[in-house]
Amino acid sequence: MQASRLLVVLAVAVCLVVAARTEAAGEKYNSSAFHYRLDLPDGWVLVDEQVTRNAVEQMFNAQTLKVLAVDACFQRKDAPRDFAYPYLMVQVLPYDRIGSGAQPSVDELEKIVRLMTGVDVKKSVDRAANKGIGDIINNAEMGVPVVDKASARYTMTMKMDIVMVGEVHSLCVGYFGKNALVQVYGYSLKDEYDKWAPEFEQIARSLVFEPGFAFDTAVHKSSYTGFNFSGITGGAMMGALVGGLVGLVLTVAKVMKKKKARVGTDSGPGDGV
């Protein structure tokens, strides 16, 4: 009897240790839609799917969402509200949505990324976002992207002034896969960027495609069948800039909703409203 109790106690202890280690190591995110995996360090959680969907629909117009997919968003466990800075957003551009049935060649990766920095910021935002969203962004600047052809990956920084928020900085790590470009964006207020940038990069660099969905580095110009460069560069930059506004737009929407509710409450019978 004592031996049985001892085994039960040991089993419970082992479970607690395993649970503690799992919590300390963070969580994993697996995308069933786009076939990649991300590792989250402790303190980061997945934003509720419905919350993300609502945010995306408020930000991006219908035409953009035919091309760009926001697959997942992540925020701090202790965030005071959804999409409070810092947060991360994973945006995906499937090649077939921009008229390219196959991946680009390895020799064209640098050209694609270079073209991203030549996109007209104001036009990109106005084209991608719902009416009025573009007026919120000012002085958007993109850093010089660094391309790692061996890993089919690029890294780029970005900053912009956002009305009522201030300067927001972003780190982007993009991965060319076999069927899509997957981009991980981390957004933070300027004063906190140095604190969060290492975790942004840690999360982004953990991305791994499932077998059969990674970029094929053997595809060179000799077997290259054509790729829609303007489609992917325009789509990538539109999503990058608009993604940094989600926190502000949702906050403003909530404030306006509360104001309307307050007006409705104050306007009872006999108030003439």
Q: Which of 93, 48, 47, 91 minimizes the C-alpha distance to 71?
A: 91
The residues with which 157 forms a beta bridge, in sequence order, are: 171
> What are the structural domains of the chain?
26-258 (3.40.1000.10)
Amino acid sitting at position 179: N
Helix orientation angle between 121-128 and 229-243, rounded to the nearest 10 degrees: 80
Q: Which of 162, 244, 153, 132 minimizes the C-alpha distance to 205?
A: 153
Nearby residues of 52 by Cβ (< 8 Å), 6 or more positions away: 70, 72, 73
Burial call 159-172: b when 16+ CB within 10 Å, e when fewer: bbebeebeebbbbb
**Residue listed under structure tokens 């925020």:** 75
Q: Are the CB atoms for 185 and 88 separated by under 8 Å? A: yes
User: Would you state the structure tokens that stand for residue 186, as one six-digit string?
Assistant: 């981390």
The residues with which 15 forms a beta bridge, in sequence order, are: none
The band of 249, judged by pLDDT with boundaries at 50, 70 and 90, is low
The residues with which 181 forms a beta bridge, in sequence order, are: 93, 176
Residue 169 has, within 13 A of its CA and on its CB side, a CA count of 14
**Cβ–Cβ contacts within 10 Å for residue 239, how many?**
27
User: Would you state the structure tokens that stand for residue 151, as one six-digit string?
Assistant: 């890993």
pLDDT digits (tens, 9 = 90+) for 24-35: 346 899 999 999
Amino acid sitting at position 80: P
Confidence (pLDDT) at 226:
54
Confidence (pLDDT) at 196:
97
10 Å CB burial of residue 158 (0-12, 13-18, 19+) is buried
Decide if pLDDT at 215 tops 60.
Answer: yes
Q: pTM of the predicted model, to two decimals?
A: 0.76
Decide if pLDDT at 104 tops 60.
Answer: yes
Q: Which of 73, 71, 76 minimizes the C-alpha distance to 89?
A: 73
Confidence (pLDDT) at 269:
40
Q: Are the CB atoms for 179 and 214 separated by under 8 Å? A: no
Decide if pLDDT at 19 tops 50.
Answer: no
Confidence (pLDDT) at 252:
47
